[in-house]
Amino acid sequence: MRVIAGQKKGKKLERPKVDFIRPTTDKVKESIFNIIQFDVMGADFLDLFAGSGQIGIEALSRGAKSVTFVDENKLSINIIKKNLVAADLTQKATVVNMDSIAFLKNYKNLFDIAFLDPPYNSEVLKSAMFYVQKNINKNGIIICEHLLSLKLPNKINDFFLSKTYKYGKIAISVYKMEF
């Protein structure tokens, strides 16, 4: 697992050695950042269900102003902190050890981009989508990584499904605000 572009390109990141934390593949990660390449620079980025933190670290490497990493698993939090130190990116990062839905319900600031990648076999993604939209700026983007078999809504309040990208059994769904 490594940073694929930006100022920390090539930096190796630690990966949790447990089955329940599933890092995004390099192919899917590269595709995500191709989709949002013009939106990342200067963005306040949310890495929800952060796992190893690799998506948020990639965003920082590509010029995000800040990243908030949220995960309820202590092992994930420790790996995220190690990876941030190794990449020398701690100054632009906030790491929160908390249930993602509770975080969204209580957080008051706004993000420009939110990346949601919960465990594939959980039912939490649709709840997280509902709550995250109140934490996104009006020109913001919500990105969801999920199993292709999971059907997501076409609209969440003011956000509409802009496009779904397919990578084998994995899908990336991108939501933008309707104007």
User: β-pairing, 136-147 with 155-156?
Assistant: unpaired
pLDDT of residue 5: 81
How does pLDDT run across 133-152, given as a tens digit for each residue?
999 998 999 999 999 999 99
The C-alpha atoms of residue 102 and residue 65 are separated, in whole angstroms, by 24
- Return d(Cα 4, Cα 19) in angstroms, integer: 23
Domains of the chain by range and CATH?
Answer: 41-177 (3.40.50.150)
Percent of the chain as helix, strand, coil, to the nearest 5: 30, 30, 40
pLDDT: is 123 or 76 the higher one? 76
What is the mean predicted confidence (pLDDT) over 113-137?
Answer: 91
d(CA 150, CA 60): 29
Q: Determine the 3-state secondary structure of 161 from DSSP.
A: strand
Q: Which residues contact 175 (CB under 8 A, 6 or more apart)?
A: 129, 133, 141, 142, 143, 144, 156, 159, 160, 161, 162
Residues 55-110 pLDDT 10s: 999 999 999 999 999 999 999 999 999 999 999 999 999 999 999 999 999 998 99
pTM above 0.85, yes or no: yes
pLDDT value, residue 98? 96
